[in-house]
Structure 1
Amino acid sequence: MRTLRAPLCLALLALLALPLPVPAQKYPEKSIRLVVAFPTGAPYLLALLMSEKLRDSLGQPVVPDFRAGAGGTIASELVAKAPSDGYTLLLTSATIVISPSLYPKLGYDPFRDFAPITQIATVPNVLIVHPSVPAKTLNELVKLAKAHPGKLNFGSGGLGSGSQLGSELFKTLTRINIVHVPYKGAALALQAMLGGEVDMVTSTVPATIPLVNAGKIRALAVMAPKRVAALPQVPTTAEAGMPELVVITWYGLFAPAGVKPEIIERLNAEVVKLMNAPETRSRLAQVELDAATSTPPEFAKFVRAESDKWARVIRDANIRVQQ
């Protein structure tokens, strides 16, 4: 009997000496830093909304950190270098995938350095013209431009801006010759149109609604698959026979690459629940924003498609921006 007890005791002692399994850490255990690439407009409103609502669902503060500059690249580079622990997130727009085609020496790679969490919201763009332009429809504008190559021009918020890329896509798809006139910001491009300096502009719907309703500009087409409630009389580009002419400004949430999948899933679940809540949708609708959510794989696929799309536009238009 003793000969059996000795080995048994030794085995028990060996088991007791093994390290106990460490309980999985509960996420989050501290405040989350939400780096926001733009300090005004939709990103600002979305950051405040997430800060207000996610605190309750996550049980920790979500603190916005507005890091504007260089077309969103400052914020992206900061988050790309942050620890992969889920406590630093990035709220940005399509600039995260557009900038690499404009600035070859960026300090981040949008696919290597980030983990997509979910799309958050979208806002469609609209192609507008000055009232002096005789075209009343998108197809009439194309015919006018082809009849007078190089005579019509379009304003934008600057080289590589979303407003330029939207108009360049229109130019490429229709094979028209129109001249680019860059300004230092989308607001200045709109002002230039109001003053008759430029013939057309691609702009977000919210920025154009009061001007269209006042008759100061003419909206020819919503650059999205469906019409918008705020401009019900304006047809879509698809209705004009140009379904590929889609220009939608989008906002999304990213984490640094390497964040644990369970953390990504938790963040995705909470943000999707927030954005799909009736109260959230109502608040966003007041500023012409549409809630738009996705799974991490869906968002990753969307981001890749956006990167490919705008890289082609930038290459075809030979857009070069000094870094």
Structure 2
Amino acid sequence: MRINRRVAIRAAAAAIAGGTSWLRAQPAWPQRPVRLLVPVPPGAVADFVSRTVAQQLGSTWGGNASAFVENKPGGNTVIAVNSLLSAPKDGHTFLVTFSLTRQLPQLGLKLNFDPLKDLLPVGNLSVGQLLLLVNAKSGIRDFPSLVAFMRKRAGGATFATFGVGSVGHLVALQMGKALGVEIVPVHYTGIAPGMRALLSGEIDMFLANLDIAQQHISAGTVVPIAVTGPKRYHVAPNLPTLAEVGVPGLEFVSWIGVFAASGTPANIIGRFGEDLRSALRAPELQAKFQAAFVDPAPQSLEEFRAMVKEDDELNTRLIAEHHVRLE
């Protein structure tokens, strides 16, 4: 078949012009500083992760745009979510949060939004495991000695959590059931108060991120017993998983991710996700994360969605099984 050269050239020129016109039609983004809403106070792990990523984004964008953190603590992350949903859906406001936000309906909280429909995943920032800790003065050094202690503890062993429905709460309930021992969850307002309660001997056990626990482990004031993940933690390979020591079904990972309000343009969500992954791969960010015992998670959007879905299913099952409700 013969192809008319002039027709082909005109068609190619039209396609290029059309493509160029389409590119010109795309508005520049970001047009102003990007706001990251964080549902915890300054100093918390999610705050550190968010601020470090926000700073790196400025470099990723070549100094032509910036991002900043706005702390919106309280209300079991609801305050931050409502701030996101009330903001213009133009891709300049995002939420940085964790699994609790997605558990709120299962915990019986009456909401004016559906976190599974109104919050769209953009990208993950960090992922890690939680460490089961005891006070060094207890004499407990491994999981068998912890179990022996719990069986003898009159009135039940106490387990500090950072809130109703938190990972620590669900682990405490499931661990007690699996081992046939009484464990009493004691709720605190966050990780820092829970750690102080463990250090003072006010409670027997606590579940915390490595970045919070490391200084106390190094000082010899707390002892790590096990980790929550599906496999051993690469930074603490000598610690068994809970499944290894006889508490299956608690393969929790601790993730911190970015979400957009439903209605945010899909092209901006895709672009921001790519920029987040670029920021997380930057050596200077990884060095800061490593110094704080935080693992960056430059996952693809599909990988992040799959991880969140698996986490949702585990949390939903445990919340229903143990009849956990926010009061």
Superposition TM-score tier, normalisation by shorter sequence? 0.7 to 0.9
After superposition, give the CA deviation of every residue in 1:39-93 in whole Å (9 maximum; x if it has no partner). 3222222222232222343432223222111122211122134333212111112
Q: Residue 226 of structure 1 corresponds to which residue in structure 2?
A: 232
One-letter amino acid of the counterpart of residue 29, structure 1: Q
- The answer (yes or no) to whether the contact 1:164–1:202 under 8 Å persists in 2 is no
Against the structure 1 CA distance between its residues 54 and 193, is the aligned structure 2 distance closer, same or farther, given a 3 Å change threshold? closer
Does residue 42 (structure 1) correspond to residue 45 (structure 2)? The answer is yes
Comparing 43-52 and 85-94, the one that deviates more: 43-52
Unaligned 5+ runs, structure 2 = 1-20
Tell me by how many angstroms 1:203 deviates: 1.7
CA RMSD of aligned residues (A): 2.6
Does residue 118 (structure 1) correspond to residue 123 (structure 2)? The answer is yes
Instruction: Return the match for 1:93 from 89, 98, 103.
Output: 98
* 1:95-244 correspondence runs (5 A): 95-131=100-136, 133=138, 135-142=140-147, 144-145=149-150, 151-224=156-229, 225-229=231-235, 231=236, 233-240=238-245, 242=247, 244=249
After superposition, give the CA deviation of every residue in 1:171-208 in whole Å (9 maximum; x if it has no partner). 34444321222234333332232333322111222222
**TM-score normalised to structure 1 length:** 0.82
One-letter amino acid of the counterpart of residue 32, structure 1: V
SS in 1 for 2:129: strand
Larger Rg: 1
Does residue 289 (structure 1) correspond to residue 289 (structure 2)? The answer is no
Q: Residue 60 of structure 2 corresponds to which residue in structure 1?
A: 57
SS in 2 for 1:111: helix
Instruction: Return the match for 1:80 from 61, 85, 89.
Output: 85
- The answer (yes or no) to whether the contact 1:97–1:303 under 8 Å persists in 2 is no
Counterpart-to-counterpart distance in 2, 1:188 and 1:158? 11
Tell me by how many angstroms 1:159 deviates: 2.7
- The answer (yes or no) to whether the contact 2:125–2:258 under 8 Å persists in 1 is yes
Q: Residue 31 of structure 2 corresponds to which residue in structure 1?
A: 29
One-letter amino acid of the counterpart of residue 53, structure 2: M
Against the structure 1 CA distance between its residues 172 and 263, is the aligned structure 2 distance closer, same or farther, given a 3 Å change threshold? farther
Counterpart-to-counterpart distance in 2, 1:214 and 1:44? 25
Counterpart-to-counterpart distance in 1, 2:60 and 2:197? 45
After superposition, give the CA deviation of every residue in 1:7-62 in whole Å (9 maximum; x if it has no partner). xxxxxxxxxxxxx9872223223332221222322222222223222234343222
Counterpart-to-counterpart distance in 2, 1:31 and 1:188? 33
**TM-score normalised to structure 2 length:** 0.81
Counterpart-to-counterpart distance in 2, 1:254 and 1:288? 24
Counterpart-to-counterpart distance in 1, 2:174 and 2:209? 15
Residues matched between the structures, number: 302
Counterpart-to-counterpart distance in 2, 1:187 and 1:298? 31
SS in 2 for 1:290: coil
SS in 2 for 1:192: helix
Against the structure 1 CA distance between its residues 278 and 239, is the aligned structure 2 distance closer, same or farther, given a 3 Å change threshold? farther
Identity %: 25
One-letter amino acid of the counterpart of residue 312, structure 1: R
Counterpart-to-counterpart distance in 2, 1:29 and 1:195? 50
Does residue 272 (structure 1) correspond to residue 272 (structure 2)? The answer is no
Tell me by how many angstroms 1:116 deviates: 0.4
One-letter amino acid of the counterpart of residue 300, structure 1: R
Comparing 169-178 and 33-42, the one that deviates more: 169-178
Unaligned 5+ runs, structure 1 = 1-19
Tell me by how many angstroms 1:270 deviates: 0.8
Against the structure 1 CA distance between its residues 267 and 232, is the aligned structure 2 distance closer, same or farther, given a 3 Å change threshold? same
